[in-house]
Amino acid sequence: AQTVTQSQPEMSVQEAETVTLSCTYDTSESDYYLFWYKQPPSRQMILVIRQEAYKQQNATENRFSVNFQKAAKSFSLKISDSQLGDAAMYFCAYLSGSARQLTFGSGTQLTVLP
Amino acid sequence: GAGVSQSPSNKVTEKGKDVELRCDPISGHTALYWYRQRLGQGLEFLIYFQGNSAPDKSGLPSDRFSAERTGESVSTLTIQRTQQEDSAVYLCASSLDVGRGTEAFFGQGTRLTVV
């Protein structure tokens, strides 16, 4: 079974600074997808960024980018120019190419300091 | 509707009572998922529906949990004889499921408290 590990329960960053959230996963598959979701206090999960395992290029979405290290099974999220609205719980998630349900990590609570 | 809608937003029930949670997926989404999120934890998969196929119930924690879906529309998650450990946020998601890695869109969840 696949597992996803987020070793940082809490992180904080100064507004306008850069922060990196860590995620590692364990799988024996070669075909899969990785996601970062954001969960604000409203509880709704919002997709931040996704990465296909077969793509070597790291995904980027505006201020959000990932560092995907397939051999190391690492998938970290970098948030540049942090904003107060980025404060939320962030979840790393894995989707097997053959399965339908996401496997989530335990989350990292990000605080943005003004 | 524009997004995934769940009701009720919050539910407090007495131990031993049955509860029904409702999910209205995005129109046209063939796939629907239920997840459970205990306080301070990640999401645990419960059940998956895809069109008219048999649902994947592999994540249901006990036979007290069941779910139904009418065609490609509304789904209800039923918990019978609720226990305090059932207290959690129950999240529903839907997706087009037209290909692997398709984005899942989540509702705002139902916070269930069993007292």
Q: What is the pLDDT of residues B99-113, one digit of tens each?
A: 667 788 999 999 999
pLDDT classification of A101: cutoffs 50, 70, 90: confident
Given CB atoms, is B76 within the 8 Å cutoff of chain A?
no
Phi, psi for residue B86 in degrees, rounded to 5? -80, -10
- Name the pairing type of β-strands A10-14 and A108-113: parallel
Residue pLDDT, tens place only, A23-42: 999 999 888 999 999 999 88
Do A113 and A11 contact (CB within 8 A), yes or no?
no
Q: Which of A44, A101, A107 sits opposite B108 (nearest CB)?
A: A44
Query: Residue A85 in 3-state DSSP?
Result: helix
B76: left (phi > 0), else alpha (psi -120 to 50), else beta?
beta
Q: Which two tokens stand for residue A37?
A: 């979701």
Residue pLDDT, tens place only, B44-100: 999 999 888 889 999 999 999 999 998 888 999 999 999 999 999 999 999 987 666
Task: Find the mean pLDDT for residues A84-100.
Answer: 91
Tell which of A5, A44, A106 to mutate to test the B interface (max B CBs under 10 Å).
A44
With beta carbons under 8 A apart, name residues in chain B contacting A105.
42
Do A58 and A51 contact (CB within 8 A), yes or no?
yes
Residue pLDDT, tens place only, B9-53: 999 999 999 999 999 999 989 999 999 999 888 899 999 998 888
pLDDT classification of A99: cutoffs 50, 70, 90: confident
Site of tokens 């190419």: A97
Give the pLDDT confidence score for residue A16 in this predicted structure. 97
Given CB atoms, is A52 within the 8 Å cutoff of chain B?
yes
Give the pLDDT confidence score for residue B96 in this predicted structure. 87
